[in-house]
Amino acid sequence: MAKMSRKELLNAPDELITTTGTIVTWIKSNPVRFATITVIIAVALLSGTGLYYWTLNREFTSMLEYNKSTGNAELALTISQNYTGTKAGKLARLRLAKIAYTKKDFDNAIGNADDFINSWGHEDIFYWESLLLLSMAYMGKNDTERALPLMDNCIDEAPEAIKDQALFHKANILSDMGKYSDAKKALEGISTKYSDLASITMYNLNKHPGDSSHAE
């Protein structure tokens, strides 16, 4: 940046006074326009502040309602419809997916889980939980072609708790398909937190002498 000369530094206050004087003159000559501009700026500032507090209050209110909706599909649906775009509205979709899955309503479970995944926008525990639920809902429909890739995604990238569940479910799927060796490999990847559960399933797998994992 060029260094200002002594003359330029001395002239700066005069230029500021000149500019200020010009603005004051314009204001005196255009009082109506100045008042209009002032009002527009004030309204814009107030609107921005009002929108911020409205959004904050909507998030808070919707979350209070969401906390009341555990196990209540009707209330969860109302929240998802009335508070679209809020965290609670999105989480209500995941809750609806869980409720539908427990009722073996796999189509609704898939639809709501998909809606949640597409709207949530970041890969946190809720995202991975919904992805695992989606894969299990596909399995409920015996659609292994869609279920297994989703489970593999959870196994490769999800936090440990979700990864362990995905490995366990995948082992059961592979076992049902007669792929006992592959099922055992999945169980071996489960962390020590779920080792007791895995060992029971492993014991049952060891009872199968045959393995169709490599069958023609």
pLDDT grade for 109, boundaries at 50, 70 and 90: very high
Strand (E) or helix (H) holding 103: none
> CB count, 10 Å around CB of 115?
18
Under 8 Å between Cβ of 85 and 116: no
Q: Cα–Cα distance between 67 and 187 in angstroms, integer? A: 35
Residue 4: what pLDDT? 52
77 Cβ partners below 8 Å, 6+ apart?
92, 96
Q: Full-prediction pTM beyond 0.75?
A: no
Average pLDDT over residues 101-129: 95
